[in-house]
Amino acid sequence: MAVKMSKPATPEQQKKTFVEEAWLKYYNQVLFEKGMITERERNLMINKIDARTTRSLSR
């Protein structure tokens, strides 16, 4: 079984990831405030966004 070695994210990749995370969380909050999603859905989406960000930065 091969072990995949990951390279640290470049500063440009980190910046892109953080900007994407900010926008996703912003729109998630807007949907919640407008009553289009429930608090549970909002929280689940926050967890998914955080997992995506962590994965992107650990590559």
Tens digits of per-residue pLDDT, 19-51?
Answer: 999 999 999 999 999 999 999 999 999 999 999
Please list the helix, strand and coil fractions of the chain in percent, rounded to the nearest 5, in that order: 70, 0, 30
Q: How far apart are CA 8 and CA 54, in angstroms?
A: 12
pTM of this prediction?
0.79
- Report helix, strand or coil for 37: coil
pLDDT of residue 11: 92
